[in-house]
Amino acid sequence: MELQSHDQLCSWLGLAPGVWPPDHYTLLGLALGAGDFTDIESRVLDRMEQLRRYQLLHPDAVTGGMNRLAQALVCLTDPIARAAYDRGLGIAPAPFEVGEDEPLVAPELGAPRPAEVPFEQGLRPPGEGPSRAYEVIEPDPLPYEVVPDEPTAEELPEPEVVLDALVEAEPVLAPIAISAPAQYLSQLKPRTVYRRLAALRRAIRAWEELRSVMGNSTEALATPIAVLLFLRAVAGARDVLPRVAFVLNEPGASGTLVAALAASPHALHTVRTLLPSQRQAVALDWRRGYDALRRERDQLRALALGRRARRRTNSGADFLLAFRRTPELALVALALVALLVSLIRRNS
């Protein structure tokens, strides 16, 4: 059974059968000792996507293959670990490159000597003042400078006047600029509300999967299992986060930094190279984005429940209103009730 799963992995990854487990370079389709960081990460991500197609039917085999890919990524992107791994495979280290010195160019005949070259305005030749080669001389100040007068308090327009002018100039912007979030949400259609709720539930689950790295400023991603879990979380976030752009699309809004890192083609390398202060900023942005997603979900859920309750109340009121407008319906209903009572008595 295990041999069959290995053959399946080789077939899925385009490897020759019977070579499992292969070395890291063969697993990624690289020549021995070849591949830079960008190429290695791209190949690992591509092969993980190939294996993910068979994850539902063959979970154990796919998990084993992804673990091998994560091990290869961790090893080949660490210079020290890669050098030791290459020595184990008998790969000679790359020789140092020695750059040649630039040839000296002799001055041409008739060229002016350095002392004969005129100095630009504001520079002083060596020997006349400090020992530095050149000295920057500040230019003389202008005799006068025209400065426009600042407007006085009487000349400044009132804030209400500016807002009214903005509303009159652009009526479309008026509701967005002065309306509350609840009023904006109440304008959404019921179908849009339920569609956004479904997208938010999936986005919140994907956001929680990013917690171990994006929400933790001390995670170093130094083990294969940590890399594997992070790559899985990033792949899931890339599928669902674009569907909640109505929360994360504003520049500078909460969660935009984490969303940008998840959408980056080389998210692992980017996160690994962040400074400690940058990791703390990412963790803070993850927390704020998490709160923003849940707050939007709660508002939409309250809106949907409120509409459902109003719909039930309105349906009962409409039923009574129909009886009031057409008394004949009330007489028909009473006749039906009397007939039903008589049938029950007769049967009893």
pLDDT digits (tens, 9 = 90+) for 249-305: 776 778 999 999 998 878 888 888 889 999 999 999 999 999 999 999 998 888 888
The pTM score is 0.56
One-letter amino acid of 321: L
Ramachandran angles phi, psi of 211, nearest 5°: -60, -40
From the CB of residue 45, how many other CB atoms can be counted at a distance below 10 Å? 19
pLDDT value at residue 112: 54
Domain ranges of the chain: 2-88, 182-313
pLDDT above 80 for 153: no
CA–CA gap between residue 256 and residue 236 (Å, rounded): 16
**Could you tell me if 27 and 72 are in contact, meaning their C-beta atoms sit under 8 angstroms apart?**
yes
- CB neighbours of 311 closer than 8 A, spacing ≥ 6? none
**40 close to 93: Cβ distance less than 8 angstroms:** no
Determine whether 264 is exposed, middle or buried from the number of CB atoms within 10 Å of its CB (0-12, 13-18, 19+).
middle
Instruction: For residue 38, report the phi and psi dihedrals to the nearest 5 degrees.
Output: -65, -45
Alpha-carbon distance 48 to 9, whole Å? 11
CB 204 within 8 A of CB 293: yes
Question: Encoding tokens for residue 329?
Answer: 């319906």
CA atoms of 288 and 309, how far apart (whole Å): 32
Cβ pair 250, 209 in contact under 8 A: no
pLDDT tens digits for 81-113?
Answer: 899 999 988 888 766 555 555 555 555 555 555
User: Does the pLDDT at position 141 exceed 60?
Assistant: no
Res 95: pLDDT: 66
Q: For the chain, what percent of residues have pLDDT higher than 70?
A: 64
Q: Of the given ranges (131-135, 198-202, 230-234, 257-261), which has the lowest mean pLDDT?
A: 131-135
Comparing C-alpha atoms, which of 32, 28, 31, 58 is closest to residue 45? Answer: 28
| Across 29-51, average pLDDT | 86
Residues 41, 47, 53: CA angle, nearest 5 degrees: 140
Mean pLDDT of the chain: 74
Q: Is the confidence at residue 216, as pLDDT, over 60?
A: yes
Structure tokens belonging to residue 268: 């692992």
Residue 161 tokens read as 């006047």
CA dist 97 to 80, 94, 127, Å? 19, 9, 42
